[in-house]
Structure 1
Amino acid sequence: MATPDISKLKIERAPTAQIPGQRSRRRRWVKLAVGAVALAVLATAAGRLLNGKPSVETVTVAQTYPAQNYTLLNATGYVVAQRKAALSSKATGRLEWLGVLEGSRVKKDEVIARLENRDVSASLGQAQANIKVAQANLEQGQAELADAQAAFQRAADLLKQKFIAAATYDAAQARLNKAKANISGYRAGIAAAQANAQVAQVALDQTVIRAPFDGVILTKSANVGDNITPFSSAADSKGAVVTIADMDTLEVEADVSESNLSKIRVDQPAEIQLDAFPELRLAGVVSRMVPTVDRSKATLLVKVRFAERDARVLPDMSAKVAFLSKPVPAEDKQAVSAVQPGAIVTREGKPAAFVVDGDKLKQVAVSSGRKIGELVEVKGLKAGDKVVLAPDAKLHDGQLVGVVKK
């Protein structure tokens, strides 16, 4: 059998990247992607043309205060009471009576709490009884003195008549001198008894806790039955019973950077805003500047007292302080509506703004006033209104628009 000739057989080897099938599939995917993007663009453009709703950018009308025009510097701080005390008794004992709660208003020297004091009260009663004993001894001594004086006078008369011996006269005189000395001793005994009674009274007073000044109870640290040990840290014992603050001495402590100290001076007007009541603006005055710089924070502690009082202001509230160039006039203390100047345009010779209500425009006649920071005072709009920023000249009242969200 003849052997076949395979020398003319061969395998065609081509690079993978040049396979016709793969190249055609890649071109097909590219064409599909480009077509999808084109369709999306055309759909968006067609939607805008069909809906006829131009897109607009809006801003919100804000509520602001004209006092910003007088502000030189802003700082944050906390409300503190200049006069504040943690009340306790000097004596040690069990709390027997507590007559206040948190928020109670008390007057100076009003009894707030009382410790058990039966032992001290008994000591006071004993000391007062000793005073009466000393007084009775004095009365007895005074009677003896009167008798000794009478006896001495008789002895002197009889001696002149030589009815008695000189020794009898000398004995009468010695008795009189002794009676006088006893009177001095009795009076000293009364003074000592009174001093002991005073010591007992002080000890009794130390079991009673009184208000040192007019104020409000901030915290209650002990209850009836607790052991009060002001000078000890024994277990299950209390030191202070209540904490009281004088609300008339409330002030704001704010940290001011030392680089801004040139903008602050004592008696400078300020405006205080509480975080709890943003609408409340109270006048204040820089009372003092603590002459020590915090090296770690490079700040100085500035204390601002309230020139206006409000019952809602409480210790430890967060507050913002605006240091002003001059006091705020009465007409500038009320909040006004303000908006970015670009939202106000001229229509038919009059200023106007376009308020967005849902997806519909409403043209509102407005009047602009003074400039407040980067905003301008505006009348005819209220805080919270959404108005078109830089409205196009083609916009008109009642037009449907799409709002651009940022």
Structure 2
Amino acid sequence: MSGKKDSQGEDVTPQRTGEPDDKKTVSPMPLASIAPIGDRSRETSKPEGAVRPPSAPRRPGRTVVLLAVGLLAITAILLSIRYLVPKPAKLMPVGTGFFQAELKGPGTLDAINKANVSSSLQGVITALHVDRNDVLRKGEIIAEISADDLRAQIGVARASQEAARKAVEAAYADSRRAEATLANARSTLAREMEMQRTGASSRSALEAAQTAVQQGEADLSKAQSFIRQAEAQEAQAAATVEMNQAQLDKSVIRAPIDGVVVARDLNLGDVVSPGTAIVELVDPSSIVLTARFDESAIASLSQGQGVKITFNSQGELPIDGKVLRIGREVDTETREFTVDITPQRLPSNWAIGQRSTAVIAIEGRSDVISVPASAIVRKDGHPGVWAVAGGRAAWRPVELGSIGGNLVEVRSGLNKGDVVMTDPKRVYAFMPVARSESRP
């Protein structure tokens, strides 16, 4: 094999590995390529054009494998806990029995006889004689309104009435004078007519007597007209006095009914306007509970039915009552109607608008499937129960009926012998359930 030679004819063919060192030709290293002592970066640098040996391929890390195994183990543990370990729950076997249906509805205290006492005049309250919880009788004074202008007007009206009365008296006097004058003229005419027949009187004297009679009749008619006019003016003045007196009487506010003052909205010195309530009166004997029920229950109610009333704000025992009247109008939005209930007694502390609950018992029935109200669970607005079969929980839709105390009638969806959870909490499908049965 012939080697390569440079321009001077020297052999520059590289030596093969394994050949003796004396056969190698070493090119001198440039001084610039020599790194200073301590410069590690230059010591490890590769000459330009050097080929780096390929690195060995990396294998999957053991960490990833361990993580995957751990996740699978955790998932298996969670699934075993969720679907293998039974959860204790209150269970009840479904059966049939006697069921007493009840209607329950919210209500508020109201009164049939009540009055918002106000003034028909505008003015300042100069006297206020009542306060909350005062018991009043009809006609008692509640408040007084300033009415100085009305008193002045009634004084003027009474003066006008007196002047009209005197004008009537003068008209009657004029009428009596006219009557006397007419009577004298008629007597004179009679004498003249008698003398005219005997020839003792002249024709002119007779005519003068006739004219005097006509004049007297006209004066009497005029006097009587003045009487009627004066009497009309007197009646008008009297009516004005009566009207002003009625207005003045309105400045004194009186109780329109017997009752208790349940509210006082204005104070002494306030300006009252027509229609503004000063106090609210309520007749305690007319207090009723106005309860609301769904329209589906209207056929089950009748006047005189017994009712149990429980007030939400008091811990007293239920109060007995009776249905007084049934409303004949259903609310178009809530589809509810009202029932007025008369309580046998009022609570120790009562207030108009106080909330309560009315429970009306309806006829009892036998062979009815019912479950506690706490067992009902709604999904998407549909009622259902969590039934237990084979130790697993499953949600079952049901059709509900009437309510009776803490029980709810189930018309369909359950059969005798089924087992339901009476207090389902955090229940899910196929959840293992411990079969510890207990009736609520």
Matched, 1:223 2:223: no
Distance 1:172 1:258, change over 3 A: closer
Higher Cα Rg: structure 1 or 2? 2
Matched, 1:275 2:319: no
- Distance in 2 between residues matched to 1:193 and 1:311, nearest whole Å: 56
Report what 1:146 is aligned to: 176
- Distance in 2 between residues matched to 1:188 and 1:292, nearest whole Å: 54
Report what 2:33 is aligned to: none
- Indicate the SS of the match to 2:329: strand
Report what 2:325 is aligned to: 288
- Distance in 2 between residues matched to 1:323 and 1:285, nearest whole Å: 9
**Contact 1:269/1:325, CA 8 A, preserved across alignment:** no
Matched, 1:200 2:244: yes
Structure 1: which amino acid aligns with 2:107? G
Report what 1:180 is aligned to: 224
**Contact 2:309/2:357, CA 8 A, preserved across alignment:** yes
C-alpha distance after superposition, 1:90-113 (max 9, x if no partner): 111111111110111112222211
Report what 2:156 is aligned to: 126
Matched, 1:104 2:134: yes
Q: CA deviation at 1:71?
A: 7.0
- Distance in 2 between residues matched to 1:214 and 1:108, nearest whole Å: 5
Report what 1:387 is aligned to: none
Q: CA deviation at 1:169?
A: 2.2
Deviates more, 1:170-179 or 1:299-308: 299-308
Matched, 1:168 2:205: no
Structure 2: which amino acid aligns with 1:97? A
- Distance in 2 between residues matched to 1:70 and 1:251, nearest whole Å: 26
Structure 2: which amino acid aligns with 1:200? N
Alignment length, in residue pairs?
257
Distance 1:280 1:71, change over 3 A: farther
- Indicate the SS of the match to 1:204: helix
**Contact 2:157/2:241, CA 8 A, preserved across alignment:** yes
Report what 2:288 is aligned to: 251
**Contact 1:98/1:223, CA 8 A, preserved across alignment:** yes
Structure 2 unpaired stretches of 5+: 1-60, 64-98, 193-204, 364-403, 407-440
Report what 1:355 is aligned to: none
- Distance in 1 between residues matched to 2:159 and 2:263, nearest whole Å: 41
Report what 1:190 is aligned to: 234
Instruction: Give 2:107's match in structure 1, choosing from 68, 73, 77.
Output: 77
- Distance in 1 between residues matched to 2:297 and 2:225, nearest whole Å: 79
TM-score with structure 2 setting the length: 0.53
Structure 1 unpaired stretches of 5+: 1-14, 18-68, 232-238, 327-371, 375-406
- Indicate the SS of the match to 1:161: helix
Matched, 1:93 2:123: yes
- Distance in 2 between residues matched to 1:93 and 1:155, nearest whole Å: 63
Report what 1:396 is aligned to: none
Computed over aligned residues only, the root mean square deviation of the Cα atoms, in angstroms, reads: 2.7
Distance 1:151 1:308, change over 3 A: same
Q: CA deviation at 1:70?
A: 7.4
- Distance in 2 between residues matched to 1:219 and 1:190, nearest whole Å: 45
Distance 1:259 1:121, change over 3 A: same
- Distance in 2 between residues matched to 1:121 and 1:115, nearest whole Å: 12
Matched, 1:301 2:345: no
- Distance in 2 between residues matched to 1:211 and 1:259, nearest whole Å: 42
- Distance in 1 between residues matched to 2:277 and 2:261, nearest whole Å: 12
C-alpha distance after superposition, 1:302-329 (max 9, x if no partner): 2212244566433122222121359xxx
Structure 2: which amino acid aligns with 1:303? D
Q: CA deviation at 1:226?
A: 1.1
Instruction: Give 1:214's match in structure 2, choosing from 249, 258, 261.
Output: 258
Report what 1:385 is aligned to: none
- Distance in 1 between residues matched to 2:215 and 2:334, nearest whole Å: 90
- Indicate the SS of the match to 1:241: strand
Q: CA deviation at 1:136?
A: 1.2
**Contact 2:123/2:146, CA 8 A, preserved across alignment:** yes
TM-score with structure 1 setting the length: 0.58
- Indicate the SS of the match to 2:173: helix
- Distance in 1 between residues matched to 2:102 and 2:316, nearest whole Å: 21
**Contact 2:102/2:405, CA 8 A, preserved across alignment:** no
Structure 1: which amino acid aligns with 2:284? M
- Distance in 2 between residues matched to 1:266 and 1:225, nearest whole Å: 48
Q: CA deviation at 1:115?
A: 0.9
Distance 1:251 1:217, change over 3 A: same
Q: CA deviation at 1:180?
A: 0.9
Q: CA deviation at 1:176?
A: 1.1
- Distance in 1 between residues matched to 2:113 and 2:100, nearest whole Å: 31
- Indicate the SS of the match to 1:154: helix
**Contact 1:72/1:263, CA 8 A, preserved across alignment:** no
Structure 1: which amino acid aligns with 2:149? D
- Distance in 2 between residues matched to 1:127 and 1:257, nearest whole Å: 61
- Distance in 2 between residues matched to 1:288 and 1:95, nearest whole Å: 40
